[in-house]
Amino acid sequence: MKQEVLRMSHVTLIDDGMTKLDDFNLNVYAGEIMGLLCQNAHGRDTLLRVITQNAPIHYGYIYFRETLVNNYRHSAGGRNAVAIIEPRSHLVQDLTVADNIFVLRRGFKKYFINPHTLEMQLRQFTEELHLSFHASDPVSRLSRYESCVVELLRAVVTGVKLIVVRDISTAISAMELQKFHRLMRHYARTAGIAFLYICNHHEEAFTVCERISLMRSGHILRVLDRRDFSNELLWRYSLDFTRELPPPGDATDEAEVLRLSGVCFGALQGLSLSVRHGECLALLDMDNRIFDDLITVMNSEKPPLAGEILLDGTPLAAHKTCPPISFITEYPAKTMLFHEMSYLDNLCFAAARKSPDLWRRHTLRENVAQEYRQFVGDFVYLENIDLLHTRDLIDLVYYSVHLYNPRIVFCVQPFSGADMYLRRHIIDLIHLLQKKGIAVVLLAVNLSDCLLVADRLLLVENGRLCREYSQKDFAELADLPPH
């Protein structure tokens, strides 16, 4: 008989007058990898708070390891033995791998720590799982994949019986995700650990999960067993992401905006590619190594060690003053806006580099406000952007690029953390840039994200271009490692 690790029965939670969890039901068993596909972000953070911290609920019952830990009558508020692994690291960066795994766990009572003993204990895990890091390695020097593995090992050593894995495909490469899935299966099988695997793409969940729950607005719509896994069934619960293919020859007739020829810098080992006017090119980094170095050379922070970069047929170095290149970082709503400035000031900030008169002439700024009012309404006159939701802040970032009108924009992991509805909206924003003739380069590690919007897809491995796909060839990508 299966041992139940987590059971949530008819749980309802209301926060600030809004129902975050609505008659929510979920069962996770020992040794099982249970998927959770969230169509929107509504209730997702609340769910994790309830699972980990036993937050008060308004109705229902929650059992952890077959013991009632929370109900509508009483909530003790204590923490459950649950670990969360997500793109944001929960490790102490200044300490070593061994310190994070063994010393910082509950129940560790030694006053004198023998590093050799810790190294021997860790070696039992690393040799069994063929891991390359060592006990004395500082966590700050680990790759994101290695950090995820260390967090997994810490959970195993601590005796955690439920591990929540959330959106890690946005942080590690396709190859690394496969290896992490193997580790999950290993500990599910040998240690009876239960996993709740939260992701945005059903193709990713199909590769590792035994069952999948579909969640929308804090409510479970349906639970799928493995025999029910099919694209056709999931499409009933999905938005329409299909798009018409462009007429043959349209893209190839456009002028070339950017060309990299044999560029070497850091992880870039002879990278060559080209981007055309108004094209959306996806760069899928199979190793998750090149993005920082590529942005460094494209931002002219440092010149490449070898190779050539041409922008509109001339060397990139010739565009020192106000280069026609923009960058949209990962999680742009948090990293690309000035919260002490108004909506209109944020909108005009990049464009003012080209037209300093935007700061001096009220009529120019009013013209901009009227132009973008058709997109954002009266938000354009908002003084405090902290009042906006994430989707509206992302709009502001993309419209700022749209106003600046660069020749090319690099978008780093544009779908990170986005639910289905926000992903659909970001696709529309990317198309808006393309319609203005702006070339878009997506820097991604998630194959499913690339296929949503790209006109071409380049696979990069070991810092080099290894394969190119046009949109009509995307069906071949089914042969790639699942992601």
Quick: pLDDT tens for 331-341: 999 999 999 99
Q: What is the pLDDT of residue 155?
A: 92
Quick: pLDDT tens for 295-322: 999 998 999 999 999 999 999 988 877 7
Q: What is the pLDDT of residue 383?
A: 95
**pTM of the model as a whole:** 0.84
First to last CA, the chain: 32
Mean pLDDT per 10-residue segment, the chain (483 residues): 92 92 96 94 93 92 93 84 92 85 60 58 73 83 90 90 93 88 95 94 91 95 92 74 50 77 95 95 89 93 94 88 88 94 94 85 91 94 94 97 96 90 92 95 84 90 90 66 44
